[in-house]
Structure 1
Amino acid sequence: MADLPKQARVVIIGGGVIGCSVAYHLTKQGWRDVVLLERKQLTSGTTWHAAGLIAQLRATQNMTRLAKYSQELYGGLETETGVATGFKRCGSITVALTEERREEIYRQAAMARAFGVEVEEISPAEVKQRYEHLNIDGVTGGVYLPRDGQGDPANIALALAKGARQRGAVIKERVKATGVQRDGRRITGVHWQDATGEQGTIACDHVVNCAGMWGREVGQMLSTNVPLQACEHFYIVTEAIPGLTQQPVLRVPDECAYYKEDAGKMLLGAFEPVSKPWGPIPEDFEFDQLPEDFDHFEPILEKAVERLPMLADAGIHTFFNGPESFTPDDAYHLGLCPEMDNVWVAAGFNSIGIQSAGGAGMALAEWMDTGEKPFDLGDVDISRMQPFQGNKAYLKARASETLGLLYADHFPFRQKATARGIRRTPFHRHLLEQGAVMGELAGWERANWFATEGQTPEYSYSWKRQNFFDNVAAEHRAVREAVGLYDMSSFGKIRVEGRDAERFLNYVGGGNFSVPVGKIVYTQFLNDRGGIESDVTVTRLSEQAYLVVTPAATRLADQTWMERHRGDFDVVITDVTAGEGVLAVMGPNSRNLLQAVSPADFSNTTNPFGTAQEIEIGMGRARVHRVTYVGELGWEVYVSADQAAHVFETLHEAGQDHGLKLCGMHMMDTCRIEKGFRHFGHDITCEDHVLEAGLGFAVKKDKPDFIGRAAVLAKQEAGLDSRLLQFRLTDPEPLLYHNEPILRDGEIVGYLSSGAYGHTLGGAIGLGYVPCRGETAAEVLASTYEIDVMGTRVRAEASLKPMYDPKSERVKV
């Protein structure tokens, strides 16, 4: 007998370490009617065979915050529950075998300092001192994190489960969730069946998908898209090695290997460059392993024996091949699913489930309890996934790459090589013919830069100036001095229409949308804390219709935000992204070029900055929006997909007389950062207050009612705690990307939220927040600033105003 309740506040599906953590943290939040269903036995999917590496440092501050929380939690679980977690802080060492990898790990070390993680860059000799068994031939450097550790994965999960039970959670093994009851955008009940065949239904307010490898299929059952693919993951465990004592966790990413000492044995694991997707998963899968594939693992082992000579004499006790789930972008899935209003997910942890479980469970529980993210979770928010990414053929192709990317060089601008070409703009073929080098974002193929004649049109990656540096500089100059043309079709386009469209947008957005037809409003969607949920431009197309333009990667999230706040407003919200191609015509010669192909009036009188108009162009029709993200005079040309090719050909041909150059997304980034324009997801997020981001001008505080208004007025009254500054390195050689520490008068006070090279300003440019409580703007700027680039402090100029065209005179000529 399953003996399950008829009703629960939440049903959690899946009893691995993630599901147990979610149950544990929900009960810590005070939730009592918590039910967890596990189809077989707790930990029987992936958790039981995880390596148990527990590191602190992740790629962003908030992911690091979650990993650090996991460590702190596991350190105290044994005392709380009586279940030994095996957690110990043995430290970790990552070694580099190339100069490029050395720069990568030293940049990571600088980032760690900004995030408050204890870290030390060490020489090859110092690596040898801390790891005597290592052959340091070819080692160029290392990084040591003394507080990293390891633990017993299954016992950590069982400790979390016991802690949840102690606070009233019901955790049932051998009970499978078989279906659901649905009412619109809500799941109202979960059907179950136990091992004896008994069936029942639990009415519930929330459902959490923690099904691990089964997450995609459980997601489908819950009417949600959870793109996951299981892959084979290999490791060996040696026989006991005489005299082997506790060692730091060792990572040698250039050889795709990691090493962990455990009870006098050595575990060698691999993230091979080309992985093996696996599936379908057998129905009876439980504590199972996959067939050995020694040929696949052998190249890793051969290098490992040279790197750790003790392995040559050590017998192999276990050759293990077990499945783990991977996502298309190597970031796990967390949060409220966009398709439903009470279905949550925590799945797809890409081999970092143990180190992530504590923090992920904590963050999701807080989000579920308060209805708001506790801090920015954009890196892992499930709403970043596009609907097509649940396609099985796509997932299998992409997963062959993503596992290997965990230990690949994490070069700036590195592009995925697999599962490409799925979403193409109407200009795709034309751009390729002109030398476009494509990148991919949210599945969209986008021209990032253009190769010159005779140049190989592909990336050659580096941490230094990459092979496209001069190409982007030339594109940048064209936009600043003549005219550039680039494709913006991938940006999200959401149509909001209906008799309440104006009133609805005035509620959901910070700007004033009571404007004439043709007016463009730049603003943000705010949360109740005044944080920025979306950065948009909104064009009034008619009395009852608006076009909301969003970043390509957040179209689904932004549309979902509007849907969830629609309430009783009489509006229809529709994604129309694919219906129009968009070409940006930017630069001092942009007006002359448009006048050459259209009889329309592009003067300030007829078409001032921030307005749109319908025009004839070539032999077709289009709509032009006079806005800019590069800080120059320019227009975005919106044209229906059927006429897009004609309009491109018309502009490209006429542009030859006006100095036209085709440009890519990298150029757009270098220009926008010179102008101090914010990048959503980096410079502005849901935890960045709109006033501290310097965007108060885009919020109309005199409106009577909009989301976030109270928080804006409160911040205005209390004063700013931080300010977003623009920095320029005085040395023109170093490059900035993001997360480099900011030093104010010699002390670390923050880190760069974004970085790029300013080809006009003559140095690398960054944006970043600096604490300023009780200080005037002048006092903030009076300090001396430096940026830590790979351990070297570089002097930087700081400004609150854009360093390029601070009065925006160029965009309004």
Structure 2
Amino acid sequence: MAELPDKARVVIIGGGVVGCSVAYHLTKLGWTDVVLLERKQLTSGTTWHAAGLIAQLRATANMTKLARYSQELYGDLEAETGVATGFKRVGSITVALTGDRMEELSRSAAMARAFGVEIEEITTDEVKRRYEHLNTDGVVGGVYLPKDGQGDPANIALALAKGARQRGALIRERVKVTGIARQGRRVTGVDWVSDDGRAQGYIACDMIVNCAGMWGHEVGRMAGVNVPLQACEHFYIVSEPIEGLSQLPVLRVPDECAYYKEDAGKMMLGAFEPVAKPWGMNGIPDTFEFDQLPEDFDHFEPILEMAVNRMPMLGRAGIHTFFNGPESFTPDDAYHLGLAPEMDNVWVAAGFNSVGIQSAGGAGMALAQWMEDGEKPFDLGDVDIARMQPFQGNKRYLAERATETLGLLYADHYPYRQKATARGVRRTPFHQHLLDRGAVMGEIAGWERANWFARDGQEREYHYAWGRQNFFDNVAEELAAVRSNIGMYDMSSFGKLRVEGPDAEAFLNHVCGADMSVPVGKIVYTQFLNPRGGIEADVTVTRLSETAWLVVTPAATRLADETWLRRHLGDYRAVITDVTAGEGVLAVMGPNARKLMQAVSPNDFSNDANPFGTAQEIELGLGLARVHRVSYVGELGWEIYVSADMAAHAFETIWEAGQDLGLKLCGMHMMDCARIEKAFRHFGHDITCEDHVLEAGLGFAVKTAKPEFIGRDAVLRKKEEGLQRRLLQFRLTDPEPLLYHNEPIIRDGEIVGYLSSGAYGHHLGAAIGLGYVPCRGESAADVLGSTYEIDVAGTRVRAEASLKPMYDPKSERVRM
């Protein structure tokens, strides 16, 4: 074996298509001191048996951007490296067997138009014309993407590896990483041993990239980071050669959990069955290399029976190969990319959920650019490893969740769909109180949260649909209570980070756009900005004392926001502590909120004593609490923070006192409807790291008079240059259609963008959306002077547009 160096800038662990792509793109950026170590042979884990389907359209604009990049890259690789990738633009067809699936495809087609992806909605007859072998009984329609493709997975990886080698990367096969040395929050090197055991050594390095695929969880633990993924068995069959079979588009029949691919005159049938089979829970054999798993015909038979009916030639052709091989899946069906939150030089690209080939090119490009610049090249929140919670590395959790996530790839992607497996891990102090009163729970970041409340006798579960779901009227009633009387909901899942120390104020002024030099008890709404003026976090910060502050974050981004703070702490004398689980939080909101607060506490809740944007310590029932006068629903109200030990008492006290006032329990769906009526931004949708704080309409929360903070220069530049786009609020003029997100925005007849979020505005009487519109050189009046429509599943619906909130534009209600 050729000698390995004793030092490298980066060591990439894993030689599948993703690891090869990361090496390729780092060398393309000029990195030469790159070492890739593969335990066996390149592609020998999952890549070699992948189906090689290469689609363009993904669930978000940036994921689509990455998939399209992969296609373009693979088309050019052969000319660059001389290795044939087998990439062909054969097109793809997805067919619907139900009206709900067709609605999903129509909404996907509209989204594709907004993302600039060529797509065509086709009738059943057109499906048959493009795919003559298909039995179209029950097919109600479909979509056709002419530029989708397929390729040879192993050769794509080998071409990427060759390209990396040509630019100086060192790629070594049959070298296993056996240990990772760490010092504080940094790795310092890796121990390795050759496959035959005759050589071993150590490579000091500046950073590592975990591209270990289904071994990623194990490698992550060696590096001190959490990489939640689980291998599952994945099945497909390949037929004997079929006479006369020529090139065909890739075909997906998600209602039958199946996909079809013609390859060299044979037909491949693959499956994403609803209940999957996790594999390797006790570890993957050390000898695993180009291995297959035992056949399980009984498990595959229901898919095959439907397939023989749908594709009759499969019933006449013999089976050449019945293949079962492992692929890795994550708890939310999105891959892991980025800088691991636990360490400052451990990068991850793993867990690709059966879309590794189509994702690898773009993922490698994005990660390499992130490593080069030290910041994300664009919003990667969907796949950022920092979204994963520590408990999600639990092996039992992963095995249970993986039985569901594989099948979800082809399940109906209904709005508000909740995961069914591995539930109940994190519960707020009010969990049972809410269940006893009709709560229907959803889950985010492991937290069980009341999404809506069922009436007496109403079924306490979701009935999913693309139209009005069974909770639609419940949410309308909850919102009406908040708008006209009083409602209460549980906010305990929101992250709570305590920042304290002699330099806490200076530190928070450095990372926050707003001015943190405020009196004790003051609550400040602010953002963490990056150097481009993009929004990394959207938080409130409450000054608890001269040296202590509480940063409140969205539940899903608590870990990411804490990590951002830790990475910018530097020499500031401050301590950051996650206290999320220490306090329960109840939000009491509505015009009569003050009456309820006065009924449960002797403290003064007047505007003079407790104005909007301030907090105070209070007596509550027989106990103590702290109340924050803020609102995410646009009404008078208080968020009540109470220590976990007194939480049950606090709930019972407020609930009992609220009975005479008509207090109504509310859920997260109501909160979303209320916030979008008020045009409050939702982090991860309306505001992300690539959305400039001024273009997001949040300039009021940035104080450039402060001498120094991250993003200040970018804010000042944008003020000079002018806005390139603006975030508008839209209300459909037709009360019937529903908006979710990604629906195209049409301005004066032309698509100019898409909705970043959408929900039904029960008080405003129609669906509401937020979305960015280009405005270079235009005044606000110019932007609002246009005619706007929103494309809802192919139908253009007129919409009113506004820069100010359509509900209570002067924010008078929160200050009542």
TM-score by length of 1: 1.00
Note if 1:507 corresponds to 2:493: no
C-alpha distance after superposition, 1:172-203 (max 9, x if no partner): 00000111221111111111111232111111
Name the residue aligned to 1:162: 162
Q: Distance in 2 between matches of 1:681 and 1:805?
A: 24
User: Cα RMSD (Å) of the superposition?
Assistant: 0.4
Name the residue aligned to 2:262: 261
Name the residue aligned to 1:402: 405
Match of 2:312 among 304, 309, 314: 309
Q: Distance in 1 between matches of 2:433 and 2:181?
A: 49
Where do 1:747-758 residues align within 5 Å? 747-758=750-761
Name the residue aligned to 1:360: 363
Name the residue aligned to 1:206: 207
Q: Is the 8 A contact 2:77 2:83 kept in 1?
A: yes
C-alpha distance after superposition, 1:187-223 (max 9, x if no partner): 1111111123211111111100000000000000010
Q: Distance in 2 between matches of 1:666 and 1:447?
A: 9
Note if 1:558 corresponds to 2:561: yes
Q: Is the 8 A contact 2:17 2:357 kept in 1?
A: yes
For residue 170 of structure 1, report the CA deviation from its aligned partner. 0.1
Q: Which runs of 5+ in 1 are unaligned?
A: none
Q: Is the 8 A contact 1:54 1:355 kept in 2?
A: yes
Name the residue aligned to 1:99: 99
Q: Distance in 1 between matches of 2:62 and 2:338?
A: 15
Q: Which runs of 5+ in 2 are unaligned?
A: none
AA in 2 matched with 1:646:
H
Name the residue aligned to 1:724: 727
Q: Distance in 1 between matches of 2:194 and 2:167?
A: 24
Name the residue aligned to 1:150: 150
Name the residue aligned to 1:111: 111
AA in 2 matched with 1:624:
V
Q: Distance in 2 between matches of 1:135 and 1:336?
A: 47
Q: Distance in 2 between matches of 1:781 and 1:181?
A: 58
Number of equivalent positions: 813
Note if 1:604 corresponds to 2:569: no
C-alpha distance after superposition, 1:66-85 (max 9, x if no partner): 00000000000000000000
Q: Is the 8 A contact 1:2 1:194 kept in 2?
A: no
Q: Distance in 2 between matches of 1:542 and 1:791?
A: 55
AA in 2 matched with 1:81:
T
Instruction: Say which SS state the counterpart of residue 94 (structure 1) adopts.
Output: strand
Name the residue aligned to 1:520: 523
Name the residue aligned to 1:48: 48
Name the residue aligned to 1:13: 13
Q: Distance in 2 between matches of 1:659 and 1:611?
A: 26
Q: Is the 8 A contact 1:580 1:641 kept in 2?
A: yes
Name the residue aligned to 2:427: 424
Name the residue aligned to 2:222: 221
Name the residue aligned to 1:698: 701
Note if 1:63 corresponds to 2:63: yes
C-alpha distance after superposition, 1:751-785 (max 9, x if no partner): 00000000011000000000000000000000000
AA in 1 matched with 2:21:
S
Instruction: Say which SS state the counterpart of residue 656 (structure 1) adopts.
Output: helix
Name the residue aligned to 2:416: 413
AA in 1 matched with 2:268:
L
Q: Distance in 2 between matches of 1:65 and 1:130?
A: 27
C-alpha distance after superposition, 1:588-644 (max 9, x if no partner): 010000000100000000000000000001111000000000000000000000000
Instruction: Say which SS state the counterpart of residue 273 (structure 1) adopts.
Output: coil
Match of 1:796 among 774, 796, 799: 799
Q: Distance in 2 between matches of 1:575 and 1:124?
A: 55
Q: Is the 8 A contact 1:334 1:382 kept in 2?
A: yes
Runs of 4+ with >3 A deviation: none
Instruction: Say which SS state the counterpart of residue 494 (structure 1) adopts.
Output: strand
Name the residue aligned to 1:343: 346
Note if 1:483 corresponds to 2:486: yes
Q: Is the 8 A contact 1:192 1:201 kept in 2?
A: yes
AA in 1 matched with 2:380:
L
C-alpha distance after superposition, 1:509-539 (max 9, x if no partner): 0011100000000000000000000000000
Q: Distance in 2 between matches of 1:32 and 1:410?
A: 43
Match of 2:663 among 660, 663, 670: 660
Q: Distance in 1 between matches of 2:313 and 2:67?
A: 32
Where do 1:722-801 residues align within 5 Å? 722-801=725-804
Name the residue aligned to 2:177: 177
Name the residue aligned to 2:588: 585
Instruction: Say which SS state the counterpart of residue 342 (structure 2) adopts.
Output: coil
Where do 1:458-473 residues align within 5 Å? 458-473=461-476
Q: Distance in 1 between matches of 2:809 and 2:284?
A: 58
AA in 1 matched with 2:252:
R
Note if 1:377 corresponds to 2:380: yes
For residue 2 of structure 1, report the CA deviation from its aligned partner. 4.0
Q: Is the 8 A contact 2:596 2:657 kept in 1?
A: yes
AA in 1 matched with 2:219:
V
Q: Distance in 2 between matches of 1:493 and 1:351?
A: 35
Name the residue aligned to 1:242: 243
AA in 2 matched with 1:421:
G
Q: Is the 8 A contact 2:181 2:223 kept in 1?
A: no
C-alpha distance after superposition, 1:514-566 (max 9, x if no partner): 00000000000000000000000000000000000000000000000000000
Instruction: Say which SS state the counterpart of residue 542 (structure 1) adopts.
Output: coil
Match of 2:390 among 387, 395, 413: 387
Q: Distance in 2 between matches of 1:152 and 1:242?
A: 22
Q: Is the 8 A contact 2:38 2:175 kept in 1?
A: yes
Q: Is the 8 A contact 1:2 1:175 kept in 2?
A: no
Where do 1:630-669 residues align within 5 Å? 630-669=633-672
AA in 2 matched with 1:722:
R
C-alpha distance after superposition, 1:367-412 (max 9, x if no partner): 0000010000000000000000000000000000000000000000
Name the residue aligned to 1:277: 278
For residue 714 of structure 1, report the CA deviation from its aligned partner. 0.2
Name the residue aligned to 2:574: 571
Q: Is the 8 A contact 1:87 1:152 kept in 2?
A: yes
AA in 2 matched with 1:500:
D
What's the % identity of the aligned pairs?
Answer: 82
Q: Distance in 2 between matches of 1:203 and 1:3?
A: 15
For residue 657 of structure 1, report the CA deviation from its aligned partner. 1.2
Note if 1:535 corresponds to 2:542: no
Q: Distance in 1 between matches of 2:256 and 2:79?
A: 39
Match of 1:435 among 438, 443, 446: 438
Q: Distance in 2 between matches of 1:581 and 1:345?
A: 34
Instruction: Say which SS state the counterpart of residue 635 (structure 2) adopts.
Output: coil
For residue 141 of structure 1, report the CA deviation from its aligned partner. 1.0
Q: Distance in 2 between matches of 1:125 and 1:655?
A: 60
C-alpha distance after superposition, 1:681-718 (max 9, x if no partner): 00000000000000000000100000000000000000
For residue 309 of structure 1, report the CA deviation from its aligned partner. 0.7
Q: Distance in 2 between matches of 1:155 and 1:196?
A: 26
For residue 6 of structure 1, report the CA deviation from its aligned partner. 1.1
Q: Is the 8 A contact 1:110 1:741 kept in 2?
A: yes
Name the residue aligned to 1:289: 292
Q: Distance in 2 between matches of 1:511 and 1:302?
A: 62
Instruction: Say which SS state the counterpart of residue 660 (structure 2) adopts.
Output: coil
